[in-house]
């Protein structure tokens, strides 16, 4: 009997006449703003990668996430789409009621300037049609344009820990309204000695925040960080990691 059932299951999977494959889900199948879906489509991004398909329902529901997956699996939009979805843009009704300049609604902390620039680019492209302003900050670059952008108001700040702390210390950056916080490549931040800085930043964000942590590996210090700053996180692993 068991053998028969296996045969039936295999037959159903085979590409035979009457079998119609289930359509792959698209970003439009998730509760994502049509302008975000359209912006992604303009860049050829229509079907979520597995880590994205797993992350979207949980993250769009506002839950904390620990994501573990190898490089190139699409983690950026896994957190980026839910992050942008939660952001209120200047084009939205009710924007006037939002807090003043210098108070981003979302923060992404990244270990290196290269990663910060890459993440910002992805967020900018996906959020462009909604008019979401993304600022990238990192060391070794003039403060003035970053300060000017903060004064004008930005919805999302992406940066490396040191420069984020500098701007916060100088009161140009106020993280108290940051209600979406992403720690990208957390294990890399640990290796570079940034965890104390990350903790300083986390402590300044909204206690009501949604926190998403991504890391290729989960050393004890990252697990401890997650325990301290995350609330009942859902663990998501893309297939193929060790
Ligand atoms: P990771 O952060 O896991 O290393 P990225 O988020 O940088 O991976 O994504 C890797 C590459 O895949 C990028 O070039 C990105 O634009 C592309 N990409 C991400 N998601 C999709 C998708 N759903 N469809 C097509 N390309 C995608
Ligand atoms: Mg990445």
Q: Ligand 1 pocket check: which of 29, 52, 74 to mutate, most ligand atoms within 8 Å of Cβ?
A: 74
Q: Which atom of ligand 1 sits closest to the CA of residue 122?
A: 16
Tally of domains within the chain:
1
Residue 82 lies in a domain: yes
How many whole angstroms from 72 Cα to the centroid of ligand 2? Answer: 7
Residue 176 lies in a domain: yes
Residue 43 lies in a domain: no
Q: Please tell me the distance from the alpha carbon of residue 219 to that of residue 138, in angstroms, as a whole number.
A: 26
Residue 113 lies in a domain: yes
Ligand lying nearest the CA atom of residue 24? 1
- Closest among 106, 37, 126, 115 to 71, alpha carbons compared: 115
Q: Whose CA is nearest to atom 12 of ligand 1?
A: 74
Give the residue numbers spanning the domain of 210.
49-237
Q: Whose CA is nearest to atom 19 of ligand 1?
A: 74
Residue 130 lies in a domain: yes
- pLDDT for residue 93 is more than 90: no
pTM of the model: 0.90
pLDDT digits (tens, 9 = 90+) for 29-72: 999 999 999 999 999 999 999 999 999 999 999 999 999 998 89
User: Residue 185: which CATH number?
Assistant: 3.40.50.300
Residue 32 lies in a domain: no
- Enter the tokens of residue 53: 């398909």
Residue 79 lies in a domain: yes
Residue 178 lies in a domain: yes
Q: Is the CB of 220 under 6 A from ligand 1?
A: no
Check: complex ipTM more than 0.95: yes
Q: Whose CA is nearest to atom 20 of ligand 1?
A: 74
Q: Please tell me the distance from the alpha carbon of residue 5 to that of residue 58, in angstroms, as a whole number.
A: 33
pLDDT digits (tens, 9 = 90+) for 188-226: 999 999 999 999 999 999 999 999 999 999 999 999 999
């Amino acid at each position: 009997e068991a053998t028969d059932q296996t045969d039936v299951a295999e037959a159903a999977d085979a590409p035979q006449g009457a079998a119609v494959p289930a359509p792959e889900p698209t970003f439009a199948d998730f509760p994502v703003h049509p302008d975000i879906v359209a912006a992604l489509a303009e860049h050829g991004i229509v079907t979520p990668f597995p880590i994205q398909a797993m992350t979207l329902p949980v993250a769009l529901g506002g839950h904390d996430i620990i994501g573990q997956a190898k490089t190139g699996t699409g983690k950026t939009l896994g957190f980026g789409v839910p992050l942008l979805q939660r952001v209120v843009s200047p084009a939205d009704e009710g924007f006037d009621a939002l807090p003043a300049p210098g108070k981003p609604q979302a923060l992404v902390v990244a270990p290196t300037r290269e990663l910060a620039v890459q993440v910002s680019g992805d967020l900018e492209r996906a959020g462009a049609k909604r008019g979401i302003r993304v600022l990238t900050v990192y060391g070794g670059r003039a403060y003035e344009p970053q300060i000017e952008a903060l004064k004008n108001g930005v919805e999302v700040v992406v940066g490396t820990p040191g420069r984020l702390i500098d701007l916060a210390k100088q009161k140009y950056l106020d993280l108290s309204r940051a209600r979406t916080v992403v720690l990208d490549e957390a294990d890399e931040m640990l290796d570079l000695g940034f965890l104390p800085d990350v903790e300083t930043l986390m402590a300044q964000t909204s206690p009501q925040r949604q926190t998403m942590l991504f890391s290729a590996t989960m050393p004890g210090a990252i697990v401890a960080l997650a325990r301290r700053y995350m609330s009942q996180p859902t663990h998501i692993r893309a297939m193929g990691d060790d």
